[in-house]
Structure 1
Amino acid sequence: MSVTSTATSLDLPVVDWLDPAELARDPYPSYRRLRAEAPVAWSPAVRKVLISSFEGCSVGERHPEIFSSNVAGGTMVRALGGRPLIRKDDPDHAAERAPMNRALRPKQIMDVWAEKFEANARRHLDRMLASGNGTADLNTDYAVPVAARNLCDMVGMSGVDPTDLARWSKDFIAGTGNVLDRQDIWDRCDRSRAECDAALDETIARLRRRPDASITSMLLEGGMDEDKVRNNVKLTISGGMNEPQHMVTNMVRLLERSPAQKAEVLSDAGLWKQVFGEAVRYFSPIGMVTRQTAAAVELHGATIPEGTQVGMILASANRDAARFTDPDVFNIHRPAGTNLAFGSGVHQCAGKWAVQKAIGEIAVPLLYRELPGLQLDPSRTETWDGWVFRGLTSLPVTW
C-alpha cells in the first residue's frame, strides 16, 4: 500500500500546515504544535506519517520488527547509490554492523583513536589561531576540518583531502534529506559519489595489502562484499561528519548563552560529559529517521497501516515535555536519562562513543583551555541549515 493511499483512505490526522521551509528556519515551534495537536500525523509536504512524541519514537526504536529500516526506495539509498546497514533489518543489519562495531567500541576509541583525535584538534586549532587575528567562523575554521580529518583517519582515507570528504558528506546528507526531490541535490550526490568511489578504489586496494584499525579495513577483514563495504563507508562519511561537526558549534553556542553553566564547566572538567549529553538532546543533529511499517500499529489513538513510510522526529522527541522537565531549557544538571539523539536499540548510532570522545571530551574542552577569552561575536550573524539533519553553518567567534 502506498503512503499516499494510506493517508487518504484511513482516519489519520493531516498536518497540511507543516512547511519544510519553516522547519529549515526553526523547526521547534512546529514540533511543539505537532506534539500538542497530532503526535502521529500525515504530512502532505513531507509525504510521510510523522511521529513527533518521545513515547512514539521510542516505540519505533524498540520495535524494529514493526518499524522496519528496510524502506522501499528512499532518499538515503538514492543518495549513497546502494543500501547500507542502516537501511536493513536483522539478521542482515547485525551481520554488517558487527565488523563496524570492532572499530568503534569504547576500548578501541581509547586505545587507537583518542590520540589521533587530540592531534587533529590541536593541528586545526593552531591553524585557526594563526589565520584568525582573534576572530573566526568556528564552523568552517575548526568544526569542519577537525571532523573531516578525524573521519579521514577513521575510514582509512588519510590521503584524501579533508575538504573533499567534507563536501561529499554534505552532499550525501543533502540527498538523504531531499524529501522534496530536488534534481540539483541529486546531481551533487552523483558527483560526490563518483569521487568517493574513485578514492575507495585506492583505499580498498591498499587496505587489502596492509590492513589497519580503520572502519574500512575492519569491514574488509570481516569478509564483507566490496559493494557493501562501499555503501557502508559512504554511510559513515555522511553521518560521521554531520554529528561531530555540529556538536562542536552546538556546545559552544549553548555554553556561551549560559554563562553560569559555562563557569561551572570551566572550573570542573568532569562536567564535560554532561554538557555533551545535554547539548545533543537540546540541538539534535539527526532530526528525523525514516522507517516503514511491517505491520499495522496503533500509536496515540491513530492506526498506521502496514507498508507506510514513517518519519520519526528525534529532535522533537528530545524536546517533549512528557519526557523532559522544561525541555526548552539547556540544563547540564538535568537528571540522567535516555534521550534519542543517537537513536536507541539495534540501530543506535555506531559512532556515538567516537563523537562523544572526539568532540565532547577533546575538541571543545581544548578550545576553552587554549582560548579562555572565547566568546560569540555579536557583530556577525550565525546561520543554520536543515531539519532532517540540522546544524550551524556559521558561528562567528572572537577571543
Structure 2
Amino acid sequence: MTPLEPTMTLAPSPATDLPVSDADPFGHEVLEDPLPLHHQLREAGPVVYLSRYDVHALSRYEQVQAALVDWQQFQSAAGVGLSNFRTEEPWRPPSLLLEADPPRHDAPRRVLTAVLGPRALRRLRDRWAADAEQLVDEVLAAGTEFDAVPALAQAFPLRVFPDAVGLGPDGRENLLPYGDHAFNAFGPANDLVAKGTPRVAELSGWVGEQCARAALSEDGFGAAIWAAADRGEITPQQAPLVVRSLLTAGVDTTVHALSAILHAFATHPDQWARLVADPSLARVAFDEAIRWESPVQTFFRTTTADVRIGGVVVPEGRKVLLFLAAANRDPRRWTDPDTFDLGRDPSGHVGFGMGLHQCVGQHVARLEAEAVLTALSRRVRTIALAGPAQRHHNNTLRAWHSMPVRLTVR
C-alpha cells in the first residue's frame, strides 16, 4: 500500500460512515505526483468527503463512470469546476457543450459532431501525415537531442489544428496560455489561477475575435459551424461559442496528451520497440497513454437530487469531484493498472469522459497523435530521456513543461 503523505489525513465522519480527507488535490505537492492521493481515495471507499473544499469525491472506476453517464443526477450545467454556476457568476459565458445539459446541449453537440465527423477527418488524414513527416524532418535536422514539449507536443497541434479550424497564422501562441487559464479556472482560486488572471481580458478578447465569421477561412471547422447557423441548426449567437469551445479544449489537451505518450515511450523503450515494429499500434498506444497518464485529471459535477453512492447519500446541490485519472488506474477495473502496455485493450478508459459529454474532439486528437507517432516510428529507433523532465502544474490537467529527449535515428 502506498504510504500516506504526512499532510493528508483520513478519518470516518463521526456522524456517518463517510470517509473524510483534508487533502488538497489542487496543491502543488499533489499536482506534482497525484498517484499517492488517488490510491488513498480509492482505498478509502466509493465516495470520500474532501473537507478542504466541501465537496464529495469519486475515484473508483465504477462510480466515476456511472456519474459521467448519469447527466440527469450529475449535471454539468452548474459548471464542471469547483465554482457553482447556480450561485456564482462564471468568468466567461459557459460552454454550450461542456457546461450545458440537454436540451440546451443537444443542438451544439449535433453540429460539432457532424463538423468533426469521419468525412472531415478523412480529408485531414493525408495532410496531417505529411505535416507530421515535415515536422519530424525539421526537428531531426536540428539535432537528435531536444526538448520534446515545444519541439513536438506543442508544435504539431499549433501547426495543424488552428489551420483546420480556419484561423490565420498570427497570434496562435495565445491559445496555450488561454487554455491553461481556462483549465486552471476549474479549480479553486489559488496561485495558478492568479498567475493567469492579468491576461484574461487580453486572451479572451483575442479568442473571441477568432470566433467571428469574418476571421475564419471558408474551408475550416469554424466556417462549417457558421454554415450550420445559416441552416438554422444553431443560432447565430451560439455559433461563436461553439467555435470557442474548439479553441479552448482543442489545443492544450492534445499538447498534453502528446507529451504524455512521448514520456511513456521515453521511459518504456520496450513499448517503443513494439510500435516501431508495428506502427498500426499508434492508436492503441495513444489511448493507453491517455489511460495511464490522464491528461485531464478531474472534472466536477453537481447533484440534482439526493444521490446514493454505496452506503452514502450525497445531498442535492453538492459539488462532486470526479477523479478521472484515479479511475483510469483502478485495479478493480484494470490489470496491472500502473503499467504502460501496448498489449492492453484500453477502451473504456474515462480520459475523454463518458456519455453524452464525452469529448467530441477525441477522434481529432487521435488523428494528430497517429500522424506524429507514425512519422517518428519511421525515423527513430530509440527514444530516451536526456535529462530530468519538468512538470507543468495545472488545476485540471496533467502536463509537462519540458522533456529533454535523446533520439537515435534509423
Same fold at TM > 0.5 = yes
2:355 to 330, 339, 345: 345
Q: Distance in 2 between matches of 1:294 and 1:237?
A: 30
Instruction: Note if 1:88 corresponds to 2:100.
Output: yes
Q: Tell me the equivalent position of 2:375.
A: 366
Does the alignment pair 1:115 with 2:126?
Answer: yes
Q: Contact 1:251 / 1:364 at 8 angstroms: preserved in 2?
A: no
**1:219 paired residue among 202, 222, 225:** 225
Cα deviation for residue 288 of structure 1 reads 0.9
Give the secondary structure class of the aligned counterpart of 1:14. Answer: strand
* TM-score, reference length from structure 2: 0.85
How far apart are the structure 2 equivalents of 1:175 and 1:188?
Answer: 13
Bigger mean CA deviation after superposition, 184-193 or 25-34: 184-193
The answer to whether residue 64 in structure 2 is matched with residue 57 in structure 1 is yes
TM-score normalised by L of structure 1: 0.88
- Secondary structure at the residue paired with 1:89? coil
- SS, match of residue 381 in structure 2: coil
Q: In the alignment, what sits opposite 2:155? A: 145
Shift of 1:45: 3.1
Matched residue SS, 1:151:
helix
Flag the structure with higher helix content.
1
Q: 1:38 to 1:162 in 2, by over 3 A?
A: same
Counterpart AA for 2:402: S
Q: How does 1:161-176 map to 2 (within 5 A)?
A: 161-176=171-186
Q: Does 1:13 align with 2:23?
A: no
User: Structure 2: which amino acid aligns with 1:145?
Assistant: A
SS of aligned partner of 2:251: helix
1:325 to 310, 314, 335: 335
Residue 397 (structure 1) aligned with residue 408 (structure 2): no
Q: Secondary structure at the match of 1:312?
A: strand
Query: Which residue matches 2:51?
Result: 44
- Closer, same or farther: CA 47–395 of 1 in aligned 2, 3 Å: farther
The amino acid across from 2:391 in the alignment is T
Aligned to 1:4: none
Q: How many equivalent residue pairs?
A: 384
Would you say 1:298 and 2:308 are equivalent positions?
yes
Partner of 2:393: 385
Cα deviation, 1:339-393, whole Å, max 9, x if unaligned, reads: 111111111100111111111x11122123223344321x344334235211212
- Please report how far the alpha carbon of residue 157 of structure 1 lies from its aligned counterpart in structure 2 after TM superposition: 0.8
Distance 1:162-1:9 versus aligned 2 partners, 3 A rule: farther
Partners of 1:83 and 1:231 within 8 A in 2 = yes
Deviation at 1:179? 5.1
**What is the one-letter code of the residue matched to 1:260?**
D
CA distance in 1, matches of 2:390, 2:157: 20
Cα distance in 2 for residues equivalent to 1:300 and 1:374: 45
Post-superposition CA distance 1:46-85 (Å, at most 9, x none)? 4422111101111112211111111159559835443432
Code of the residue aligned with 2:376 in structure 1: it is L
Residue 10 (structure 1) shift: 7.6
Residue 100 (structure 1) shift:
0.6
The verdict on how the C-alpha distance between 1:206 and 1:163 changes in structure 2, with shifts beyond 3 A counting, is closer
Per-residue CA deviation, residues 98-139 of structure 1 (Å, 9 max, x unaligned), is 1111121233212x2223322432343344234x43321101
Q: Which residue of 2 aligns with 1:67?
A: 74
Of 203, 223, 230 in structure 2, the residue corresponding to residue 192 of structure 1 is: 203
Gaps of 5+ in 2: 1-12
User: How far off is 1:319 after superposition?
Assistant: 0.6
Does the 8 Å contact 1:31/1:52 carry over to 2? Answer: yes
Alignment partner, residue 3 of structure 1? none
Q: Distance in 2 between matches of 1:93 and 1:19?
A: 29
Moved more, 260-269 or 291-300: 260-269
Cα distance 1:383–1:168, how it changes in 2: closer, same or farther (>3 A)?
Answer: same
CA–CA separation in structure 2 for the residues paired with 1:349 and 1:335: 19
Cα distance, 1:79–1:129 mapped onto 2, change above 3 Å: farther
Deviations 1:301-351 (A, max 9, x none): 211111111111111110101111111111211245411111111111001
How far has the Cα of 1:8 moved from its partner?
Answer: 11
Aligned equivalent of 2:385: 376
Q: Which residue of 1 aligns with 2:117?
A: 105
Equivalent pair of 2:177/2:196 in contact (CA under 8 Å): no
Preserved CA contact (<8 Å) 2:211 2:241: no
Quick one: which amino acid aligns to residue 292 of structure 1? Answer: T
Which residue of structure 2 aligns with residue 263 of structure 1?
273
Distance (whole Å) between structure 2 residues aligned to residue 138 and residue 162 of structure 1:
19
CA distance in 1, matches of 2:38, 2:214: 46
More displaced, 386-395 or 120-129? 120-129
Match of 2:292 in 1: 282
Determine the structure 1 residue equivalent to 2:5: none
- In the alignment, is the contact (CA less than 8 A) between 2:185 and 2:395 conserved in 1? no
Find out whether 1:33 has 2:40 as its counterpart: yes
Equivalent pair of 1:12/1:41 in contact (CA under 8 Å): yes
Q: 1:155: how far off? A: 2.0
Alignment-derived partner of residue 125 in structure 1:
136
CA contact (8 A) 1:40 1:300 kept: yes
Task: Give the gaps of 5 or more residues in structure 1.
Answer: 1-6
Q: What is the RMSD computed on CA atoms of the aligned residues?
A: 2.6
Pair 1:19–1:68, CA change in 2 (3 A) = closer
> Which residue pairs with 2:214 in the alignment?
205
Moved more, 246-255 or 366-375: 366-375
Preserved contact between residue 152 and residue 165 of structure 1 (Cα < 8 Å): no
